[in-house]
Amino acid sequence: MIGVGVIGFGWLGQAHSRSLLRIPTLFPERADTRLVVCADPLPERREDAVRSFGFERATDDWRAVIDAPDVDAVWVAAPNMLHVELVEAAAAAGKPVFCEKPVGGTPEQTARAEAAARDVISGVGYNYRWAPLVQYARRLIADGVLGEITNYRGRFFSMYGSDPLGVLSWRFLVDEGGYGVTSDLMSHSVDLAHFLLGPITRVVGTTATFIPERPLPVAAGTHYGRGAPDDPKGAVTNEDYAGMLCEFASGVRGTFEASRSIVGPESQMAFEVYGTKGALGWNLETLNELQVYLVEDELHTGYRTVFGGDRFPYHGHFVPGSANGIGFEDLVVIEDYEFCRAVAEERPFVPGFGEALQWVRVQEALLRSAESGRWEDVR
């Protein structure tokens, strides 16, 4: 029975708490947890944690979570710029720590967090790795079903910042949220590529801010809040868009793009992988579908749309049959299940902070390249 402390009780803090509650009913080999304490500055969220989620208690002081003797593992779901301090404290207390991506708001912070937490089990919230069809995609690639991989195309296009009246939340401020879309979205996209194909060695890239100022938020809100045209405005201090070309250690050629202010794609966290014998494609917007193309002898070759189902990893824990879909949050359940198993069995978890570091090394190279205007090695 793992005593759980959660820091930050917004979207992801709640999602993890809900997920931990669901694990025993979904996984026979469950890793049981107790929701011990939750920290958040907002009183209504603390109240909700206790009343609706069954936390034993709540606090406005995150240190009280980390120090609590009945807390065995810590989930960090506070804004990015707080990550490193929280992780350092949890690691200092010798507690396993699961931190939401990107583990810090800047590459430096992620590196600090990684260095601090080498002696504890760490986990990072790259939840899309756990999508059943992404897991299966990785298996197909590893088994050589696509032949030798030649090309990779990753992107994460979201509209959450596309409305110029979307408020200036912490996500748009380098001092509060750290870097912008690279940390927030491209991190996911590159992490998936690492998961599927291994390390990236060189990149050339660029960034842009399309909406330079936004209405100041009138009150604490999620990043989907909206201001009025006449509201006072503040400057956006991190990037809306990033694009890059890259090479993988394996020789694969890749392109990545991410935007939080694009119009059209709503949550298009997508990739395509191409090899000498076939290709794969996946998109978060249609997470229960995998596109598969294979070179075959028959004339009727073409991309097939493979629907998720209980024959794929994890899927059957949620619903039997084929083409009965799972949802976004179910990926968090899988992630938390696997992290709890690692904690229970005292073994490392992947993706941990090593994987978080792997991404920020790419991010650093991208940001250096955006400055230098040339290819930069990933160090």
Ligand X SMILES: NC(=O)C1=CN([C@@H]2O[C@H](COP(=O)(O)OP(=O)(O)OC[C@H]3O[C@@H](n4cnc5c(N)ncnc54)[C@H](O)[C@@H]3O)[C@@H](O)[C@H]2O)C=CC1
Asked if residue 28 binds its own copies (CB under 8 A), the reply is: yes
- Do β-strands 2-7 and 73-76 pair in parallel, antiparallel, or remain unpaired? parallel
Asked if residue 351 binds ligand X (CB under 6 A), the reply is: no
182 DSSP 8-state letter: I
Task: Name the burial class of residue 127, with classes exposed (0-12), middle (13-18) and buried (19+) by CB atoms within 10 angstroms of its CB.
Answer: buried
Task: Look at residue 12 and give the partner it binds from its own copies, ligand X, none, a contact being a CB closer than 5 to 8 Å depending on partner kind.
Answer: ligand X
The residue type of 143 is D
- Give the whole-angstrom CA distance, residue 78 versus residue 252: 36
- Given the complex with its own copies, which of 63 and 277 has the nearer CB atom? 277
Classified as helix, coil or strand, 255 is strand
Asked if residue 41 binds ligand X (CB under 6 A), the reply is: yes
Classified as helix, coil or strand, 256 is strand
Residues 110-149 that bind its own copies (CB under 8 A): 136, 140, 146-147
Which positions from 47 to 86 touch ligand X by CB under 6 A, shown as an x/- string? Answer: ---------------x--------------xxxx-x----
**Least CB distance to its own copies at residue 269 (A):** 10
Among 144, 218, 224, 226, binds its own copies (CB under 8 A): 224
Among 125, 161, 178, 278, binds its own copies (CB under 8 A): 278
Residues 167-226 that bind ligand X (CB under 6 A): 184, 222
The residue count for binding its own copies (CB under 8 A) is: 98
- Given the complex with its own copies, which of 120 and 131 has the nearer CB atom? 131
Task: Look at residue 30 and give the partner it binds from ligand X, its own copies, none, a contact being a CB closer than 5 to 8 Å depending on partner kind.
Answer: its own copies
Q: How far is CA 365 from CA 151, 205, 362, in A?
A: 20, 9, 5
Asked if residue 299 binds its own copies (CB under 8 A), the reply is: yes
Task: Name the burial class of residue 305, with classes exposed (0-12), middle (13-18) and buried (19+) by CB atoms within 10 angstroms of its CB.
Answer: exposed
- HSE at residue 11, side-chain half, CA atoms within 13 A, is 10
Which positions from 92 to 111 touch ligand X by CB under 6 A, shown as an x/- string? Answer: --------xx----------
Q: How far is CA 38 from CA 5, 79, 82, 177, 336, in A?
A: 6, 15, 16, 21, 16
Asked if residue 18 binds its own copies (CB under 8 A), the reply is: yes
CB atoms within 10 A of CB 243: 18
Q: Which residues lie across from 322 on neighbouring strands?
A: 309
- Given the complex with ligand X, which of 39 and 378 has the nearer CB atom? 39
Q: Give me the DSSP letters along 6-58.
A: EE--SHHHHHHHHHHHHHHHH-TT---EEEEEEE-S-HHHHHHHHHTT--SEE
**Least CB distance to ligand X at residue 104 (A):** 9
- Token pair of 5 as six digits: 């402390």
Calculate the CA 112 to chain-centre distance: 19
Residues 116-155 that bind ligand X (CB under 6 A): 125, 127
Residues 164-193 that bind its own copies (CB under 8 A): 164
Among 69, 94, 229, 302, binds its own copies (CB under 8 A): 302
Which positions from 265 to 304 touch ligand X by CB under 6 A, shown as an x/- string? Answer: ----------------------------------------
**Least CB distance to ligand X at residue 275 (A):** 26
Task: Look at residue 303 and give the partner it binds from ligand X, its own copies, none, a contact being a CB closer than 5 to 8 Å depending on partner kind.
Answer: its own copies
Positions in the binding site for ligand X (CB under 6 A) = 7-13, 39-42, 45, 62, 77-80, 82, 100-101, 125, 127, 184, 222
